[in-house]
Amino acid sequence: MSAKPAPTIHPIDPLLAGRWSPRAFSAQAVTAEQLNSILEAARWAPSSSNIQPWRFLVWDRFLDANAYDRAFATLVPFNQDWVRGCPVLIAACASTVNSRGEPNRTAWYDTGAAAFSLTLQAHALGLAAHQMGGFDPALLRVAFQVPAEVEIIAMIAIGHHGDVQQLNDTLREREQAPRGRLALGDIAFAGEWGKTV
């Protein structure tokens, strides 16, 4: 199941409408060219004052199975269940200080933009990308010697779309459920808080 377009109310670009977060991955390797393209998209994301605070830790099961397994071990059991077999894991991290050592209050925001660029490029290449917060950042920090000033924000699974029938019943139901979002009036306000656009 590789296509699950959003049922939008207003028209948006098909690339945006088509991006979703699948949990069914095949074990097929992601090529170096694909991975570099995905990371290049993240590199060109916008950032405040062009600080570019994003940093990405990348684990490819086919290139370094030991490192991949150590990263996989930081995922919560629920996520391990569906990530198992996915070829690439990426940790999205944000350097929270600028070049002068001052706090960068937009580091998380900018890193989110880079991570979204990464996931859109993966989708454009026909790959699946699923961002998740269910992992142990403290364990990952120790395991991979992440500096104290770098916040570990999210993990992203990257791979080829897999067979939804290989998921357990709960995950298969989620995978096949209709997509949904809050109404536009719940997230966008006209001129003052709570006033519907």
pLDDT digits (tens, 9 = 90+) for 60-80: 999 999 999 999 999 999 999
Distance CA 91, CA 58 (A): 7
In a domain, 22, yes or no: no
Residue 154 is given by DSSP the state E
Domain span including residue 84: 46-165
3-state secondary structure 33-76: HHHHHHHHHHHCCCCHHHCCCEEEEEEECCCCHHHHHHHHCCEC
> Does the structure show a pLDDT above 80 at 1?
no
In a domain, 197, yes or no: no
State the total domains in the chain. Answer: 1
Task: For 98-135, write each residue's pLDDT tens digit.
Answer: 888 899 999 999 999 999 999 999 999 999 999 999 99
Any idea what the CATH number is for the domain that residue 50 is in? Answer: 3.40.109.10
Q: What percent of the chain has pLDDT over 90?
A: 90
In a domain, 2, yes or no: no
Please tell me the total number of residues recorded for the chain in this structure: 197
In a domain, 104, yes or no: yes
Mean pLDDT in the chain?
Answer: 95
In a domain, 38, yes or no: no
Chain-centre distance for alpha carbon 197: 29
Asked whether the whole model's pTM tops 0.85, one would answer: yes
